Chain A
Amino acid sequence: MTAKQDVNPQQATSPPDDERKARAGSPLERVIELAIKASGFSAILFVFAIFFFVFSTASEFIFEKLDFVEFLTSPEWYPTSLSNKRYGTLALLAGTVSVTGLAMLIAVPLGLGSALFISEFTSGSMKEGLKIVIELLAAIPSVVWGFIGLAVMNPLIIEVFDAPIGLNVLNGGIILGLMSVPIIVSIGEDALKAVPDSYREASLALGATRWQTARQVLFPAARSGLLAAVLLGVGRAIGETMAVLMATGHAVQIPGSPLDSVRTLTATIAAELGETAAGSDHYQALFAVGVLLFLLTFGVNLAADLIVRGRSSR
């Protein structure tokens, strides 16, 4: 009896002690925990800081001088006109949307196709080799892509389509599409790789072919990851500046065909910001274009998020 009584109090006190220790952790543990927390929050901080900076620089112009209807619906972008300055972004928006749209038409099938090929239809050295090459593709600087647009695609398009100029939506779309492919491939391949092997086994054992397995089982199972891959590709395409600046011909107009030259939102900011006086209307208008660009990418991401959530809660 006495032995038991001796043991009991110990048992009663020691677990809370351990718990407290575990919760408090060593000082080093707490520092690391704080550092991780800080880096997590810093991402949020940076996003808001950038948005705040862009928005505040443009705010005076946006609230006092900007005609919202004109800004969003007029294709006339004449910020340097002496008599009648006009700040309509519709043509620039059309430039961005048309080039991005064409780029995605090329990049999505190509990117998802090669992600599928690398993940499911090849193995060994072929697989490793392809992955390395595609990572290399992602590492090519955008100015080099622009150079290819200027020096290779431009004469090619003139030749093939008998167009007056080869710097246009088609050129920019192809270049941008090829630039987006590596992102879609590497993230898409990760998404497919994350599908449990047991799904593949079950589907194949039920007599589905490899393609049926990919289309009916793997794609649905990996859909949120694949969508993320596509959207990061879209994000890259919308945000890309240098290559489209060089490849699209730099003409402010709403394109009627893929062979028309255009100018994108990003190219406009890059080309004109250096020429404006800091704080001038033109300068602030370009920051307003930046806000528009920001809202556009934010909208794309939000839509994607809602699609993924909506699908998965079904």
Chain B
Amino acid sequence: MVNASPMIEVEELSVSYAGKPALDQVTLDVRRNEILAVIGPANSGKTTLLNCINRMIETIPAASVSGTVKVDGHDVAEYRDPSMLRRRIGMVFPLPVGLPMTVYENVAFAPRMAGERDRTVLDESVERCLKQSALWDEVKDRLDDLGTRLSGGQQQRLTIARALSLNPEILCLDEFSIAVDPVTTMKIEEVLKELNKDMTIVMVTNLVLQAKRMADRTALLLNGKLVEVGDNEVIFSRQAADARTFQYVQGLFG
């Protein structure tokens, strides 16, 4: 079954925080089962873009949004309960935030909140997610420890395990490697490659090389505007349509 329609369609999305524009008329698609990397300097709107996909933008009181975001063909604004949308989209934040509970409870949290009570189902889900995030072997004897007792890299993989716990179709990662050492970063990248067989991944990253390594396509944002989105072969070559893209990926910016 091949579904050619895009997984995420962003159309003329503009966001401003208390009148200060953060995203300006951004239009781009995320294809099914691809890894799209979003790169760009600080304050270019990368995180804002992710927050619009799962409507977390609504939790920021000063933000005002125009334009549409469609997930799997449906306008996200049509979800009456945003938590139903958020359960389809896994989200990983830049700094690992272990909820103040045990490793097990962290991973079982989302299924529980979605109404799952069966202990065996939860057990299986926790084990599956921890295996998927390559953390199981390290924490299988520490499931009852507080999540915050794990090392930084383990915690970040814990947040990935948590994001996977509802079998999301989309996984969004916001600079997941910012607080993680290179070895763990490589480990997580392998995990993501594996996960990418079943899900669409949008990753915001500050590491241009990470985008080059990981992504099928890459989008460059600059001051809230989309400069260019295209296949990695194009973006990371001299064929990039916009001169700024070439400069940015070559580190010649500014």
Contact = CB atoms under 8 A, between A and B. Distances in A.
Nearest to A205: B91
Nearest to A124: B61
Contacts of B112: 216
Contacts of B114: 207
Interface string B109-149: 11011100000000000000000000000000000000000
Interface string B161-182: 0110110000000000000000
Contacts of B100: 199, 217, 220-221
Please give me the 7 A-B residue pairs with the lowest Cβ-Cβ distance, nearest first: A207-B87, A206-B110, A205-B91, A208-B113, A207-B86, A198-B97, A202-B97
Given A198-B97, A202-B159, A205-B91, 9 more contacts: A203-B113, A204-B86, A205-B54, A206-B86, A207-B83, A207-B110, A207-B113, A217-B99, A217-B100
Interface string B96-110: 010111000000011
Given A203-B99, A204-B56, A220-B100, A198 B163 contact: no
Interface string A84-118: 00000000000000000000000000000000000
A217 B110 CA distance: 12
A124 B100 CA distance: 28
Choose among B61, B81, B110, B113 the residue with the greatest number of A CB atoms under 10 Å from its CB: B113
Interface of B: 54, 56, 59, 61, 81, 83-84, 86-87, 91, 93, 95, 97, 99-101, 109-110, 112-114, 159, 162-163, 165-166
A127 to B, nearest CB: 10
Given A198-B93, A220-B101, A205 B113 contact: no
A212 B97 contact: no
Nearest to A213: B113
Interface size bucket, A side? 20 to 34
A123 B61 contact: yes
Nearest to A200: B59
A209 interface: yes
A199 B113 contact: no
A33 interface: no
Contacts, number: 66
Contacts of A205: 54, 56, 86, 91, 93
A60 interface: no
A206 B109 contact: yes
Contacts of B163: 206
Interface centre among A199, A201, A206, A220 (most CB of B within 10 A): A206
A201 B159 CA distance: 12
A123 B60 CA distance: 11
Given A209-B113, A217-B100, A198 B91 contact: no
25 contacts: A124-B61, A196-B97, A199-B99, A201-B56, A201-B93, A201-B97, A202-B99, A203-B109, A203-B113, A204-B86, A205-B91, A205-B93, A206-B86, A206-B163, A206-B165, A207-B84, A207-B87, A207-B110, A208-B109, A208-B110, A209-B113, A212-B113, A216-B112, A216-B113, A217-B100
Nearest to A209: B83
Contacts of B110: 206-208
A198 B81 contact: no
A201 B87 CA distance: 14
B59 A204 contact: yes
Contacts of A216: 109, 112-113
A205 B114 CA distance: 12
A205 B113 CA distance: 12
A208 B83 CA distance: 6
Nearest to A195: B100
A28 to B, nearest CB: 40
Nearest to B113: A208
A198 B81 CA distance: 21
Nearest to A215: B113
Contacts of B162: 202, 206
A84 to B, nearest CB: 60
Contacts of A123: 61
A221 B84 CA distance: 25
B97 A199 contact: yes
B150 to A, nearest CB: 15
Contacts of B101: 220
A201 B95 CA distance: 12
B160 to A, nearest CB: 12
A93 B194 CA distance: 68
